[in-house]
Chains A and B, each alone.
Chain A
Amino acid sequence: MKTVFDRPHALSDVPLHYCPGCTHGIIHRLVAEVIDELGIEGQTIGVASVGCSVFSYNYFECDMVQAAHGRAPAVATGIKRTHPDSFVFTYQGDGDLAAIGTAETVHAATRGENITIIFVNNAIYGMTGGQMAPTTLLGQVTTTSPYGRDKAIQGNPIRVCEMLSTLDGVALASRVSVDTPKNIIAAKKQIKKAFENQRDKKGFSIVEVLSTCPTNWGMSPEKSLEWLRENMMPQYPLGTYKDIDAKEAE
């Protein structure tokens, strides 16, 4: 009998704790599939962050390190610089990467750390129960922006890929989505490239994945995907903001 669908080896055989309809599960699977396809599980060290993905150290079969909130790129730097032939990735949410860890993110990027960052942007703090994130949209209601995010009070949302694409150390800055099968295939391609860049010593690669939070958005999984398309995509357009290979090809 031919196997047509199976769990990737790099994805641990344990129940994930994520809420129903949350897209973390899909993103985990894509990362694990890429690790399998490149045959690098034994050389990979993942860095879990703080937020909903805090337990991701239980979900990947490679060696894992749990970092403090926002510090994953610094921890990854320490691992990669002492083990330059390993593959090091961080898996971070928007609060972790774009609020408390902004300095670590920007400086790892500008140093051109040869690491891969999987940045999951769902425009809200999930783990702590739906507070405003740096990526929360203007007008979006959260528990700490109960009247909707007002730029006069809470300021503007941050576009990470656009910002990082201005830095010389960045090899790849790409924003993808996992809301449709087509987009999932496109997302996997970018994640794979982000790991291949490490293999080829090209520098810092970040893939921002737009994600849903049905629980804290207060919507069904299906409605959440619609909301993501209608509201998040205009603010955070999908696309590759920097790819040094594309530049070389020009």
Chain B
Amino acid sequence: MSNKVLMKGTEAIAQAAIECGCKYYFGYPITPQTELSEYMAKKLPKVGGLCLQAESEVAAINMTLGAAAAGTRVITSSSSPGISLKSEGISYMAGCDLPCVIVNVQRGGPGLGGIQPSQQDYYQATRGVGHGDLRLLVLAPSSVQEMAQLTVEAFDMADIYRMPAMILADGALGQMMEPVDFDSIPRRDIPEKPWAACGHNNERKKNIVNSLYIDPQVLENVVDERYKRYDVIEETEARCEEYLCEDADIVLVSFGITARICKTAIKAAREEGIKVGLIRPITLWPFPKKNIAAIAENAKVFLSVEMSKGQMIDDVRLAVNGKAPVHFYGRTGGMIPTPEAVLENIKKLAEEINA
């Protein structure tokens, strides 16, 4: 029998982390994700863990790095401006091959921007978080259940591939309440951490956790090795939900909360006889490009729907690879697209196809 609890999105992430054995949280308050820290501050001491409020996001990610380097399962969270500050540490963690989970409950930007929901950090998460050749596992939940489930999966994947994983949520998902079933969340086999710097206890050679390689040939080799892992991830870990795509002429591509708005619009459009479907990327990196490419064989037109000025659309275009036109509809600055506006865009495309 499943055991459902009604929870806020941010709290579901926090509880999921605890459920899968994460006892350490380092963070710094920022709207709209502070409830995550508050939940951790309440719960972690009761399970023998620790929630430490750092002096800055920079310090928080480096505390996270220290804990991860010592072999501990650890999580940190923030919202957009705070993730910019964490970028340095994220790059170092990627360079040190350290697993951790980083949560970004996105808000409007750039700069201080606003505190309303946004998907403006897509580029940052999938392209530009920190300097250097690096990738993050980026998971995009679309419900409170997925906030929990993808958090657990992010921890497991981070450990398996020895790299940071990001939950890319938004202020709406963070604040809304839905039932969550923790028992049904799948788990994976986790490797040991023989590389951890936690004291050699005079039983092994010393471990060094490091991202510095002064010899360029050595650095290239290290990065090449890391990219072999990235290749495996791209081959095996890309995931998406396909919704009413089988006969679709028009295919929407949308993630997170926006995908749910698209579904409402798609149902309304279907009632009017328009053949429209949705691809909802669950992993943003690796991007589900094979799924999109396959659907592009039959679809007539694509529409990327985002809470930004159009960022994921680049990946959609790369995946569609010229087989069909790719259009965009989005709102930005913390404004949320309405189902009516999405429906209007679908109808416009339907007319163009028929004409």
A residues adjacent to B (C-beta < 8 A): 41-45, 47-48, 54-55, 57-58, 60-68, 71, 74-83, 86, 103-104, 106-107
Q: Bits for B197-235, please: 1 = Cβ < 8 Å to A, else 0.
A: 111111100111111100000000000000000000000
* CB nearest to B69 among chain A residues: A65
Kindly state the separation between the CA atoms of A77 and B50 in the bound complex, as whole angstroms.
12
Q: Which residue of A lies closest to B24 (CB)?
A: A82
Instruction: Let me know if A42 and B197 touch, CB within 8 A.
Output: no
Residues of chain B within 8 A (CB-CB) of A79 are: 66-67, 69-70, 197-198
User: How far is A75 from B58 in the complex, measured between Cα atoms in Å?
Assistant: 11
* Interface contact A66-B58, CB-CB below 8 Å: no
Question: Would B89 and A64 count as touching, CB distance under 8 A?
Answer: no
Q: B88 to nearest A CB, angstroms? A: 6
Q: Is the interface of A mostly helix, strand, loop or mixed?
A: helix
Closest to B68 in A: A78
Most A CB within 10 A of own CB, among B62, B68, B92, B198 = B62
Q: In the assembled complex, which residues on chain A have CB atoms less than 8 Å from the CB atom of B212?
A: 54-55, 66
Do residues A65 and B201 form an inter-chain contact, with CB atoms below 8 A? no
Is B258's CB within 8 Å of the partner chain A?
no
Whether B64 is near chain A, meaning CB under 8 Å from some CB there, is: yes
Instruction: Assess A103 versus B59: contact at CB under 8 Å? Given A64-B206, A77-B66, A81-B24.
Output: yes
Chain A proximity of B49: nearest CB distance (Å): 9
Contact between B66 and A63 (Cβ–Cβ < 8 Å)? no
Are A64 and B197 in contact, with the CB atoms below 8 A? yes
By the criterion CB–CB under 8 Å, are A78 and B67 in contact? yes
In the complex, what distance in Å separates the CA atom of A65 from the CA atom of B92? 11
User: Chain B's nearest CB lies how many Å from the CB of A168?
Assistant: 16
Q: How far is the CA of A61 from the CA of B197 in the complex (A)?
A: 12
Q: Shortest Cβ distance from B275 into chain A, in angstroms?
A: 52
Contact B66 A42 (CB under 8 A): no
- Please determine whether A64 and B74 come into contact, CB atoms closer than 8 angstroms: no
B59 touches A63 (CB 8 A): no
- Residues from chain A with a CB closer than 8 A to the CB of B59 are 71, 74, 77, 103-104, 107
Query: Which B residues lie at the A interface, using CB under 8 A?
Result: 24, 26, 50, 52, 54-56, 58-60, 62-70, 72, 74, 88-89, 92, 96, 197-203, 206-212
Q: Contact check, B200 vs A82: say whether CB atoms are below 8 A apart.
A: no
Taking a contact as CB atoms under 8 Å apart, the answer to whether B72 and A63 are in contact is: no
Measured CA separation A63–B70 after assembly (Å): 9
In the bound complex, what is the Cα–Cα distance between A68 and B201 (angstroms)?
Answer: 26
**Is A82 within 8 A of B56, CB to CB?**
no
Other-chain residue from B55, B64, B199, B207 in contact with A78 (beta carbon distance below 8 A): B64
Q: For B52, what are the chain A residues with a Cβ–Cβ distance below 8 Å? A: 77, 81
* In-complex Cβ contact of A66 among B64, B68, B72, B211 (8 A): B211
With the chains together, A77 CA to B206 CA distance in Å?
Answer: 20
Which of A78, A83, A103, A106 has the largest number of chain B CB atoms within 10 A? A78
Q: Are B89 and A43 in contact (CB under 8 A)?
A: no
Contact B203 A75 (CB under 8 A): no
- Residue among B88, B201, B207, B208 with the most chain A CB within 10 A? B208
A42 touches B203 (CB 8 A): yes
Contacts of B63 in A (CB 8 A): 74-75, 77-78, 81
Q: Given the complex of chains A and B, what is the CA–CA distance between A172 and B235 in angstroms?
A: 54
A66 touches B210 (CB 8 A): yes
Docked complex Cα distance between A82 and B49 (Å): 9
Q: Which of A57, A61, A74, A83 touches B70 (beta carbons < 8 Å)?
A: A83
A42–B203 Cα gap in the complex (Å)?
8
Q: Establish whether residues A82 and B70, one from each chain, have CB atoms under 8 Å apart when the complex forms.
A: yes
Contacts of B208 in A (CB 8 A): 57-58, 63-66
Give complex CA distance A63, B196 in Å: 8
Q: Is the CB of B66 within 8 A of A78?
A: yes
Distance A57 CA – B206 CA, assembled complex (angstroms): 10
Question: Which residues of chain A are within 8 angstroms of B69 by Cβ–Cβ distance?
Answer: 65, 75, 78-79
Q: Across the interface, name the chain A residue whose C-beta is closest to B54.
A: A74
> Which A residues are CB-close (under 8 A) to B60?
74
Name the one of B50, B56, B88, B209 contacting A65, with C-beta atoms under 8 angstroms. B209
The 8 closest A-B pairs by CB, nearest first: A78-B66, A74-B62, A78-B63, A63-B197, A75-B66, A107-B55, A78-B67, A71-B62
Chain A residue contacts of B198, Cβ below 8 A: 45, 63, 79, 83, 86
CB closest residue in chain A, given B63: A78
User: A residues within 8 A CB of B24?
Assistant: 78, 81-82
Q: How far is the CA of A47 from the CA of B211 in the complex (A)?
A: 13
What are the residues of chain A within 8 A of B201 when measuring CB–CB?
42-43
CA distance A106 to B209 in the complex (A): 25
Q: Which one of A42, A74, A103 has the highest number of Cβ atoms from chain B below 10 Å of its Cβ? A: A74
- A103-B56 contact, Cβ under 8 Å, with A41-B202, A63-B208, A78-B64: yes
Q: Can you list 22 A-B pairs, Cβ within 8 angstroms, ordered by A?
A: A41-B202, A42-B200, A43-B201, A45-B199, A57-B208, A58-B208, A62-B199, A62-B206, A63-B198, A63-B208, A64-B210, A66-B211, A74-B65, A75-B66, A76-B66, A78-B63, A78-B68, A78-B74, A83-B72, A86-B198, A107-B55, A107-B59
Complex alpha-carbon distance, A80 and B54, angstroms: 14
Pick from A62, A65, A82: contact of B74, CB under 8 Å: A82
Query: 7 more A-B contacts (CB under 8 A) besides A66-B211, A74-B54?
Result: A45-B198, A63-B200, A63-B208, A65-B65, A79-B66, A82-B50, A83-B72
